[in-house]
Structure 1
Amino acid sequence: MSFASQPQTNITAGLQYQGLLERLMLSTLTTLPCCVFLFINGFMLFTLRSKLVFRETSRFILLFNLLCADTMQMALSQIMYLLSICRIRLTYPVCGFLVNVLTLTNKISPLTLVVMSLERYVAVCFPLRHTTIITMRNTAVAIFVVWFFSSLNILTRVILMLDFPFEDLESLQMKDFCGALVIFLGPMSEHYDNAFTYFLFGSASVVITSTYIAVMIAARSASTDKASAQKARNTLLLHLVQLGLSLSSTLHNLLLVTFSKFLTRIEFVRILYVFYVFFIILPKCLSSLIYGLRDQTIRYALLYHLCCRLTSQQRLKCHPKTLC
């Protein structure tokens, strides 16, 4: 009897070892790039607070807000991913809190891109009134509205979640791993979340596309600075790309729902890993790379800090307005 059960025991042990090895490999392959991207975003955030020109310029303040939201979402997504890899099950209240914070930061990104696009539109189409319209006070009000509107969405989600009959559950301990898909405790929550997401990204797409067309029209005007209009047009085009990348997180959830219907659990976990890397981690790092490499002012400041603050003109050519 013992000899007959020994091969089965070896197979079970081998499968457990293979599962442990695969989970260790997946967690490593996601944690390492995530740490690198978090370092890049953190370095960008530090740079945007290191110089007065960044702290007193509206577009850099808006970029700081965008990077804060993206960095928070990336860090929280990685924490939740590691919890699922380690097979740690949370309670419904804790999971709901984490998912709602994740949703809050996810909705802030497209709204901030809308405000940044409007700022570029005013800079090109109304250059003489730019300093009176885009002020520090108006920028602070715009950021407050972005966070307030996103928080109202979270409040609505919480109210819808409270309709779930928790008293009928044997325990608040979740039977599955925490995630955005499993926290929908009723059809109303799912329908509302989909409707709000489609409305948000649809409205953001219309605003950014409209500002892009308006800047293109203004670029053909004889009274418009051609170089400034061309730069603003490229910036708005990048905002559209960023909006598409932000939308990828929504497509990520829809694709997971589709694949979960006909894949085994092991295959689903592997697909989840691939989608997580390409739809969650990578898009949240591209904002800092795009602006860090495109913007001359930020690029000089980044080089300054990367070179350990060596201010010698022979080591680093300073930008007269930012570094010297």
Structure 2
Amino acid sequence: MANNTSIIGDLKHPKNDHQIIIVQILVIIFLWINMLLIVTFLKTKSFHTSARYLLFALMLLSDSFLLVLSDILLLLTALRVPMPVWLCIIVFFVVLLYNMVTPITLAAMTLERYVAICMPLRHAELCSTRSTVHCILIIHGISSVPSIAILSVFFASASTNVYKQNMVCSVEIFILYPWHNHLRSTISQFFFFIMCIIIIFSYYKIMKVAKAASGENKKSTLRGLTTVILHAFQLLLCLIQLWSPFIEAAALQIDLRLYAVVRYCNYVIFVLASRCLSPLIYGLRDETFFLALKRFYRS
């Protein structure tokens, strides 16, 4: 059973052409929306010095890249096009890396809101442009941990002949033993646990400030609290795919056709839709970003 920590193989062996066509339409729509938000960010110079919008742009770029790469892999898998295993290893590393960047960025954005509301006097210092760039590098470093761990055990277990072969690139080729799958699942659940703690901690601290605030401060704090809740919802959509293997395993025990349907729905809802609709909601909800988006649309 493959863990959905990776996008590779999440929609393996689609049986119907109409499923492929639906995915292509969704990818085009979602990429267009993401590109609209990215261009709005690039055209608004004030966003380039804000930690909040820099992290938002990172999430948009990461999701767009993941949409394109996962769609290419889907088509290659559907057409049964093989590639060298060494190339699949590189692709696997990149896809798993950017699959983790979004939830970790959401956690960082939540902490930024916590600093802005609970530590306003230190916000300019802790969330400066320089600090945000360092934060982006740290996000990529942390996001690479699952890839490094999974590939390390693969390198230790696979024979040298494997790297000379051509295979259809899928997460299944990295599962040589059952414990490899258990390791990947353990890493995923650990990240899920840590990010849930960050969300709960930030929500609790902001709630305390909201109760003590009054007037305009209270209104601003409540907006921050709503933002944290939205981040929690976005994070849930991104991380729920970590639990998908358990649902898929249960469906596989019932019927193979049901399993294929469940896997397809997981890909469309929790990989494609969650990586576009949530950023769109966040962008529209943010008053400053929404006004910039309106100006760009009118021009």
Instruction: Give the alignment partner of residue 246 of structure 1, picking from 224, 238, 242.
Output: 238
Query: Larger relative contact order (C-alpha < 8 A, sep ≥ 6)?
Result: 2
Structure 2 CA distance, aligned partners of 1:250 and 1:183? 17
Cα root mean square deviation, aligned: 2.3
- Does the C-alpha gap of structure 1 residues 286 and 292 become closer, same or farther in structure 2, counting only changes over 3 Å? same
Q: Where do 1:248-267 residues align within 5 Å?
A: 248-264=240-256, 267=258
Structure 2 CA distance, aligned partners of 1:260 and 1:89? 26
* 1:53 and 2:64 correspond: no
Instruction: Give the alignment partner of residue 234 of structure 1, picking from 226, 235, 259.
Output: 226
- Does the C-alpha gap of structure 1 residues 40 and 188 become closer, same or farther in structure 2, counting only changes over 3 Å? same
The alpha-carbon deviation at position 253 of structure 1 amounts to: 3.4
For the residue of structure 1 that corresponds to 2:243, the secondary structure is helix
Structure 2 CA distance, aligned partners of 1:69 and 1:220? 36
Q: Which range moves more in the overlay, 54-63 or 214-223?
A: 214-223
* 1:203 and 2:194 correspond: yes
Superposed CA deviations along residues 205-257 of structure 1, whole A, max 9, x for unmatched, are 01111101110110111468111101000000011101110112222334334
- Kept in 2, the 8 Å contact 1:121–1:215? The answer is yes
Structure 2 CA distance, aligned partners of 1:170 and 1:148? 26
Structure 1 CA distance, aligned partners of 2:191 and 2:86? 26
- The gaps in structure 1 that reach 5 residues or longer are 1-20, 310-324
Paired residue for 1:138? 131
Structure 2 CA distance, aligned partners of 1:141 and 1:149? 12
Instruction: Give the alignment partner of residue 193 of structure 1, picking from 184, 188, 213.
Output: 184
Q: Which range moves more in the overlay, 296-305 or 54-63?
A: 296-305
> Which residue type is aligned with residue 80 of structure 1?
L
- Kept in 2, the 8 Å contact 1:184–1:190? The answer is yes
Structure 1 CA distance, aligned partners of 2:193 and 2:172? 22
Structure 1 CA distance, aligned partners of 2:123 and 2:41? 22
The alpha-carbon deviation at position 30 of structure 1 amounts to: 0.8
- The gaps in structure 2 that reach 5 residues or longer are 1-13
Instruction: Give the alignment partner of residue 38 of structure 1, picking from 19, 31, 43.
Output: 31
Paired residue for 1:17? none
Q: Where do 1:50-129 residues align within 5 Å?
A: 50-129=43-122
Structure 2 CA distance, aligned partners of 1:117 and 1:52? 23
- Does the C-alpha gap of structure 1 residues 170 and 62 become closer, same or farther in structure 2, counting only changes over 3 Å? closer
The alpha-carbon deviation at position 160 of structure 1 amounts to: 1.2
Superposed CA deviations along residues 269-298 of structure 1, whole A, max 9, x for unmatched, are 343322211121111012321122101111
* 1:163 and 2:163 correspond: no
* 1:281 and 2:272 correspond: yes
Instruction: Number of aligned residue pairs: give it.
Output: 285
- Does the C-alpha gap of structure 1 residues 222 and 258 become closer, same or farther in structure 2, counting only changes over 3 Å? closer
Structure 1 CA distance, aligned partners of 2:48 and 2:158? 48
The alpha-carbon deviation at position 87 of structure 1 amounts to: 2.6
Structure 1 CA distance, aligned partners of 2:39 and 2:184? 34
- Kept in 2, the 8 Å contact 1:95–1:183? The answer is no
What's the TM-score, normalizing by structure 1? 0.81
The alpha-carbon deviation at position 188 of structure 1 amounts to: 4.1
- Kept in 1, the 8 Å contact 2:110–2:199? The answer is yes
Q: Which range moves more in the overlay, 142-151 or 222-231?
A: 222-231
Structure 1 CA distance, aligned partners of 2:163 and 2:30? 41
For the residue of structure 2 that corresponds to 1:49, the secondary structure is helix
The alpha-carbon deviation at position 159 of structure 1 amounts to: 1.5
> Which residue type is aligned with residue 265 of structure 2?
V
What's the TM-score, normalizing by structure 2? 0.87
Q: Which range moves more in the overlay, 148-157 or 61-70?
A: 148-157
Instruction: Return the structure number with greater helix share.
Output: 2
